[in-house]
Amino acid sequence: MPVKAFGGGIDYNLQMMTFETYRREVTTLTTFVTHFCNDKHSDLPREARTIGIRYGTETAEPIETTLCDGCAETVAYGIARLQGCPYDEKPKCRKCSDPCYERPMWKRVAAIMRYSGMKLGLTKVRKKIRFWSGA
Ligand SMILES: [Zn+2]
């Protein structure tokens, strides 16, 4: 159902994020950070990680991946931000009334998403990284 954006008094006519959207975004985040870690952190100790998918009362099969400690932290941060983002059809992040992208950690996430997006072929993934690129 349409909701009014909190803060700022700007009505974007947004919808709450669905579980399917959440699941898709977590999968994209994990895939992209894993790609980045494979490329950039092959010299660091990397471990098997299980990325749980839980949003509200719903859960899905967790994602198994391999990441260094720093990238595992990045994924955990991204997931925390995603759980904090109430928007399904995202506003441009720069216009968001609660712009998480300004925080330094978010910039790290955005940089990783852009890097992997480019490596994986931007035309196919532009839509996918909309939420994460801060654009
Ligand atoms: Zn890494």
Summarised one tens digit per residue, pLDDT across range 40-56 is 999 999 999 999 999 88
Report the pLDDT value the prediction gives residue 89, as an integer from 0 to 100.
66
pTM summary value: 0.73
pLDDT single digits (tens) 38-95: 999 999 999 999 999 998 889 999 999 999 999 999 999 889 888 877 676 666 666 7
CA of 8 to the centre of ligand 1 (A): 36
* Cβ-contact 10, 97 below 8 angstroms: yes
pLDDT, tens digit, 9 for 90 and up, residues 96-126: 776 666 677 878 888 898 898 888 775 555 6
Position of tokens 């790290």? 108
CA of 58 to the centre of ligand 1 (A): 29
Number of domains in the chain: 1
Q: How far is the CA of 25 from the centre of ligand 1 (A)?
A: 19
Structural domain harbouring 25: 2-133
